[in-house]
Amino acid sequence: RDHEDIERSNSKKNTGTSKYVAKKDDDSLTSKELKKRNKGYHNPVELIFDNDQELVHVVEETSNDWDNYGRGTAVHSEMYASGLKRNGKTDLEKKQKMFARLCGAVGVLLVVIIMIHISVNTWEDPYPLPELPETPSTFRAFADISDEYPDPSSTLVSKNAPRDVPVVWYLPMTGGELIHHVLGSCHGLTLASDLGTATQNDEGLAKITEKSISFVNVDTTTVAGLHHAKGLKLAQSPLPHVIFSPLKFDDLKSLFSAGSNQGRLLMMVRHPVLRAISVHYYGGSKLSLDEYSKSPEVQNNYLTRFLTGKLGGTLDETDVQTAKDIMAAKFVVGIYHNLDASLQRFEDYFHWKAVGSTVHCRDDAILRAQGLDTGIAHLAEQARETEAWTYLSYNNRFDMELYTYSKKLFREQKQMFRDLKLRRGEE
């Protein structure tokens, strides 16, 4: 079609707004430009634009009368109301699509941010560890049991890094000798205990092996020996695998430092009355059990007193609660009447591998200890309904409360240490 004479005039046809109407007698548009504008439309004869040069109407030819565009029967309706681009696709459509995509991306981003925020604020640890209570400053040199003890044999643990040292703290007749035998003879660990009494010197630390047990040439069961070991920096040495001591924690803490190179405490808890009967039976007392229970010789709440540091004076419920808090935060607890499970608990926590002959050696040691306790069990059964039992129970009433608590703690720590193993991926 010849479009050489096309005129653009201002018009308000059909839409009621000012529009440009392309007519054939206007030569302001070239044929090339018009064809470009007409692209995508069949046989257009008029192009109607708004003031922003957006196409809003296309009038196609249905007669030979060019000037009467109102007679055209194939009028394209207002396309997308805001106009179509002359190449057949509107600028607004593109802008709308871009805007929609942008809104979609922003929406997705907002959803992700909200979900992350919700997840962070509502996430629950599948293996949560209990919150441990505050403990006296004396115990700052000892690590919390919830702080996982690293496996010394792991390649991820630097051999030169400061290490925590396991400490077996024990009262008389609570299985200290049994643990000593199992760790020294069955596991082959190097011990710091009373075995080095005769070999102490000021020249330095040394590892000594006698009768298949290895030990360091120090004595950690006396105050003087402990101070000597401190001067030789026992806890900082790689020699001892385990330290044994029944001493006060005010003395024992001097071996370690808070924050690094701490002690890791474990102990076996025994029924206070049965422990008292054992002390009387094996201690060589010349008194009868009834006389012993009423005498000054009887041990009075030793566990509570050592944990709180109150070796003299009266105790109250506040002291018992303090002792409970210390046990919960600082001790891997074993129960004497459950030796097998207790020793396995210690082995698991401290990564002492028990396989093959080690297991047989440990089990034999447990059987021997239980055999020795047969006589104590018989005496306890005879004394259960006597005044001696009543007096011993009363004199150790705070320790009795701690013993009941320790059994509960033993069950709770089972779950805690299981969760630690799950975190390591061992179960």
Q: Quick: pLDDT tens for 193-207.
A: 999 988 888 889 999
What pLDDT score was predicted for residue 303?
97
Q: 301: which 2 tokens?
A: 């709440």
The confidence band for 9, taking pLDDT boundaries of 50, 70 and 90, is: very low
For residue 127, pLDDT beyond 50: no
What pLDDT score was predicted for residue 114?
80
What pLDDT score was predicted for residue 97?
79
The pLDDT > 70 percentage for the chain reads 70
The residue with greater pLDDT, 354 or 49, is 354
The residue with greater pLDDT, 174 or 62, is 174
What pLDDT score was predicted for residue 190?
96
What pLDDT score was predicted for residue 80?
39
What pLDDT score was predicted for residue 7?
44
The pLDDT > 90 percentage for the chain reads 50
What pLDDT score was predicted for residue 408?
96
Could you write out the DSSP letters of every residue in 97-110? Answer: HHHHHHHHHHHHHH
Question: Which residue in the block uniquely carries the two structure tokens 């051999």?
Answer: 159
- Taking only the tens place, the pLDDT of each residue in 338-395 is 999 999 999 999 999 888 899 999 999 999 999 888 888 888 888 988 999 999 999 9
Residues 62 and 84: beta-carbon distance below 8 Å: no
Q: 356: which 2 tokens?
A: 């093959």
Question: Which residue in the block uniquely carries the two structure tokens 């540091």?
Answer: 309
The CA distance from 209 to 205, in Å, is 13
Q: 336: which 2 tokens?
A: 């004497």
What pLDDT score was predicted for residue 160?
58
What pLDDT score was predicted for residue 219?
96
What pLDDT score was predicted for residue 53?
52
For residue 260, pLDDT beyond 50: yes
For residue 22, pLDDT beyond 60: no
What pLDDT score was predicted for residue 156?
52
For residue 2, pLDDT beyond 90: no
What pLDDT score was predicted for residue 16?
44
Residue 224 region, left (φ>0) first, then alpha (ψ -120 to 50), else beta? alpha
The residue with greater pLDDT, 244 or 27, is 244
What pLDDT score was predicted for residue 220?
97
- Distance from chain centroid for Cα 289: 49
User: Mean pLDDT across the stretch 388-408?
Assistant: 96
Give the C-alpha distances (Å, rounded to integers) separating 29 from 10, 88, 144, 380: 15, 18, 88, 118
